[in-house]
Amino acid sequence: MLSLLSLLVFFTPGCSQADKVTDDSAAPEGDADADSDSDSDSDSDADSDSDSDADPPEAKLVLNELVSGNETGATDEAGQNEDWIELLNIGDAAADLSGWGLTDALGEKDPWPFPDTQALNPGERLLIWADEDLDDGPLHADFKLSGDGETLSLVNPDDEVTDAVSFPALNDDQAYARLPDGEGAWELSDTPSPGAENK
Ligand SMILES: [Ca+2]
Ligand SMILES: [Ca+2]
Ligand SMILES: [Ca+2]
Ligand SMILES: [Ca+2]
């Protein structure tokens, strides 16, 4: 009976939290020193801060992933497994794709043009089907991707190549993708992620 009573006492919550609150609030030290330090620093920081703040937001389009032998993966509007290319805007402004193009035959024929009205918000992805089925919809390129590998180029309205990838021979349903997503180097991937973050 005595031991049960001592257990009860032992497990009764004490007032330790309330103690902490009063402890913390009773420690107003060193405020005056901190203020005078930050005053002297802020003047020299002001110039460099205003420079970086002045950078206007920019769109930055990258080729992000592709599959050249789609056997069991994503299907297009016609229900077909087709080669595909994933684009990503890693910039901080919306991209206007009017005048931009994609090509697997740079310098040999005109790039396939994106639809004039196509835009891509920051962080947004766009899936292009590389199936030569122009009647399937607006996002179907006039070329396919070779399973033996080739070079894919993204071309801006000034005919400048802004991104390109020479991909190797890929197995069926294997992807070639930037890892980490958007910024990384290209690597083989057995987990294609059309329209989603690369993994
Ligand atoms: Ca193919
Ligand atoms: Ca198709
Ligand atoms: Ca091709
Ligand atoms: Ca992806």
Query: Residue 88: pLDDT band by 50, 70, 90 thresholds?
Result: very high
- 116-137 tens-digit pLDDT: 999 999 999 999 999 999 999 9
Q: Which ligand is nearest to the CA of 189?
A: 4
Query: 140 CA to middle of ligand 4, Å?
Result: 18
DSSP string, the chain: -HHHHHHHHHHS--SHHHHHHHHHHT---SHHHHHHHHHHHHHHHHHHHHHHHTPPP---EEEEEEES--SSS-B-TTS-B-EEEEEEE-SSS-EE-TT-EEESSTTTSPPEEPPTT-EE-TT-EEEEEEBS-GGG-TTEES-B--TT-EEEEEE-TTS-EEEEEEE----TT-EEEEESTTTSEEEEESS--TTS---
Instruction: List CB-based neighbours of ion ligand 4 within 5 Å.
Output: 65, 86, 193, 198
- 148-197 tens-digit pLDDT: 999 999 999 999 999 999 999 999 999 999 999 999 999 999 999 999 99
Query: 5 CA to middle of ligand 1, Å?
Result: 79
Rounded mean pLDDT of 28-41? 46
